[in-house]
């Protein structure tokens, strides 16, 4: 990619060298270019939750893009009141299965736990409001990471059912978890399910 202004504007400088190597192979260059030029509407329309992943390692540069995408999510006051825990130890993934109501697909190639961190939000509001902002921040970041994963040819499953106490023990934090995002190469690409008719979904008041 002769002009990497897209990369310069989207990714922090410490991530750039990993995402776009100085001397990429033609295959890497083509794949990275395709990802950066993805049509966001195609990504949203074709995304589908996946519970069966290949036992295949995800390339490091793809993980970096997923992290960078989460970093671009809008947050309250721009304070980014959330943290991401990247789970890589196999024994911790097994413990996460127990914490997540014995859902086996939590043991995926890439497992991210999104937690709210209201202490980062320096706004003059009641603590209850800051907590709400922080949960919203973490949720938006997870959503951006999920869309980026699909654009990279990966699939994901969003886990919202878990025992908060057990999950906090597994990742050794006092922060409140908002979701677990499990990502990997799908064993089979699924066709998106039909959604609600927009006339039923949208309420004009």
pLDDT-derived band at 193 (thresholds 50, 70, 90) equals confident
Give residue-wise pLDDT tens across range 85-143: 999 999 999 999 999 999 988 899 999 999 999 999 999 999 999 999 999 999 999 99
Which residues are paired to 53 by β-bridges?
A: 186
Q: How far apart are CA 162 and CA 8, in angstroms?
A: 38
Residue 1: is its pLDDT beyond 50? no
pTM score, two decimals? 0.80
CATH number, domain 50-184, options 3.40.109.10, 2.60.120.330, 3.40.50.1000, 3.40.980.10:
3.40.109.10
Domain extents for the chain?
A: 50-184
Altogether, the residues listed in the chain come to a count of 205
pLDDT at 3: 44
pLDDT tens, residue by residue, 23-61: 666 776 677 667 666 677 677 677 777 778 888 999 988
**What does DSSP say about strands 110-116 and 82-87: parallel, antiparallel, or unpaired?**
antiparallel
What's the CA gap between 128 and 190, in Å, rounded? 40
Burial annotation 161-170 (CB, 10 A radius, 16+ → b, else e): ebeeeebbeb
pLDDT of residue 58: 93
How far is residue 53's CA from residue 51's CA, in Å, rounded to a whole number? 7
Find the mean pLDDT for residues 172-185: 96
């Amino acid at each position: 990619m002769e002009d990497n202004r897209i990369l310069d504007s989207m990714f922090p400088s410490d991530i750039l060298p990993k995402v776009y190597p100085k001397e990429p192979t033609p295959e890497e260059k083509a794949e990275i270019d395709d990802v950066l030029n993805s049509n966001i509407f195609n990504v949203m329309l074709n995304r589908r939750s996946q519970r069966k992943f290949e036992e295949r390692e995800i390339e490091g540069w793809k993980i970096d893009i997923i992290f960078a995408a989460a970093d671009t999510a809008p947050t309250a006051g721009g304070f980014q009141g959330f943290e991401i825990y990247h789970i890589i130890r196999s024994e911790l993934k097994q413990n996460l299965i127990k914490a997540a109501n014995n859902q086996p697909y939590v043991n995926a190639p890439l497992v991210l736990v999104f937690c709210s961190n209201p202490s980062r939000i320096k706004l003059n509001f009641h603590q209850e409001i800051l907590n709400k902002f922080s949960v919203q921040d973490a949720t938006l970041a997870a959503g951006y990471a999920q869309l980026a994963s699909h654009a990279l040819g990966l699939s994901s499953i969003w886990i919202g059912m878990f025992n908060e106490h057990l999950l906090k023990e597994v990742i050794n934090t006092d922060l409140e978890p908002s979701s677990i995002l499990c990502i990997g190469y799908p064993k089979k690409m699924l066709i998106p399910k039909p959604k609600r008719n927009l006339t039923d979904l949208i309420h004009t008041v």
